[in-house]
Amino acid sequence: MSAELSGFKRFLHWGPITALSIIKCITLTTLYMNSMWWPPNISLGAFVNQAIFLMLSSLATFNYVMATITGPGLLPLKWQPQDPSVTDQLQYCKVCEGYKAPRSHHCRKCNRCIKKMDHHCPWINHCVGWANHAYFTYFLLFSIVGSLHGAVILSCAFYRGIHRYWYLSRGLVHLATVQFTVYSIIMCIFAMGLAIGVVIALGMLLYFQMKSILKNQTGIEMWIIEKAMYRRMHYPDLDEFVYPYDLGYKENLRQVFKNECVAKGVGVEWKVIEGCDQYTLTREQIAQKCEKRARTRTYKCIRKATGSFLPLFSQGFRVCLSPPCTDEPRLRLEPEDIIKVTRFRKHWLFGERVVDATELQKEGGEAIKKKPLRGWFPRRCAIELIQPSQPITSEEEDCNEPERSNNGKLDKSKKIANGNVSRRKATHQQNGHKKSN
């Protein structure tokens, strides 16, 4: 799904269609049942009750539409920092052919780098990030409150409706106002279930969103911090990692919630705490990726992989019954393809297919970009190479360049990653020497 879709076309997707259908189903059913249970024309309280519900429903719909149309903020293609000397502290995106600004990440669904990316939300058919974070959070809030209000109205109307004949038998005609038909009672129960489900599901999501906003962290940055703590448990000699963007809960809230809900600045530079700089987090990311590359294993495809999520006919029931619980892409492989594997499951592997110069010239760079180069594939389709036929990748070569911290000292995390890569190079040279002898 392209990140550059027009506003209307972005709603032509199962996510927005489903979300808007749920909102309107709850709203219309609640209004219909409320017109029998507590009609707005009988008293001031009834009028205020329906007005509040309509306001909550309208605000939820407005913020939903604005979160979808506004988008998270796309980093320009081929983006370069103003100071070329800091490029060694930034990650490079091969797809966008530019560097990733601090707190920016590439979304494989939108196929673009996103400013301050939190996550890709299929319900708005877009990412949640720097520009639309406030709209998305307000949408969650008003949807929860409005659905809770609707659930109360539907529950009261349902109670009145199923006791209608009891009220009539005792002369309480003024309470026997809700009259059910087969379709209306089905819609009432269905809408009540949807409203309760929305309160529970979006309530949990709002909790995690507010937790991250109060700490000025995105979902991706939480994972980076967790890995940073894990690295320092295993390597106590590493310098202490300090998250640079936690400015206190008041300032953290101001960065997301503004008076006009419009994101300030350009989404590239951020306020940091004392003792940190704009690239403190990106240096940690680079160090983590270098260690990950150092642990990479090389596999060779021996059996065609179709790229299907459930390759029943080509791989059998055992592989299909234990798929990775993720929506990450599946790789389509041909025999003799080389894959750099970084994650391992019992029946599946995750890695990046190595594109050689011959394939690049044959199909062209644009054609290669459109194919998923990273993803999951069945383990039985490949074997591990004890003596890899492919050289160390360019990313591993980049890891050999020493990264220095602000005080000019060599970063200890780089020393660890460089040592791992150097040992791999020595092993490759030794194996090649033995083979020649």
pLDDT tens by residue, 137-169: 999 999 999 999 999 999 999 999 999 999 999
pLDDT at 219 over 70: yes
What average pLDDT does this structure show over 58-86? 94
Encode pLDDT of 290-347 as tens digits. 888 888 899 999 999 988 888 888 888 888 888 888 878 889 999 999 999 988 889 9
Poorest-pLDDT segment among 6-20, 74-88, 100-114:
6-20
Q: Could you write out the DSSP letters of every residue in 173-223?
A: GGG------HHHHHHHHHHHHHHHHHHHHHHHHHHHHHHHHHTT--HHHHH
Token duo for residue 167: 């009220």
pLDDT digits (tens, 9 = 90+) for 31-40: 999 999 999 9
The active-site residue out of 93, 121, 261, 301 is 121
Whether 188 is catalytic is no
d(CA 328, CA 308): 12
Strand 98-99 and strand 105-107: the pairing is unpaired
Q: How far apart are CA 50 and CA 210, in angstroms?
A: 29
Give the predicted TM-score (pTM) of the model.
0.80
Per-residue confidence (pLDDT) for residue 400, from 0 to 100: 46
User: Residues 394-425: pLDDT tens digits?
Assistant: 444 445 444 444 444 445 444 444 554 444 44
Query: Contact at 8 Å (CB) between 36 and 177?
Result: yes
Element (H, E) at 432: helix 412-436
Other beta carbons less than 10 A from residue 252's beta carbon: 19
- Spatial contact of 328 and 376, defined as CB atoms under 8 Å apart: yes
What's the rounded Cα separation, in Å, for the pair 238 and 250? 31
- The whole-number pLDDT of residue 362 equals 63
> Residues 380, 348: contact at Cβ < 8 Å?
no
10: burial class by Cβ within 10 Å (0-12, 13-18, 19+)? buried
The pLDDT of residue 364 is above 50: yes
Cα 293 from Cα 278, distance rounded (Å): 24
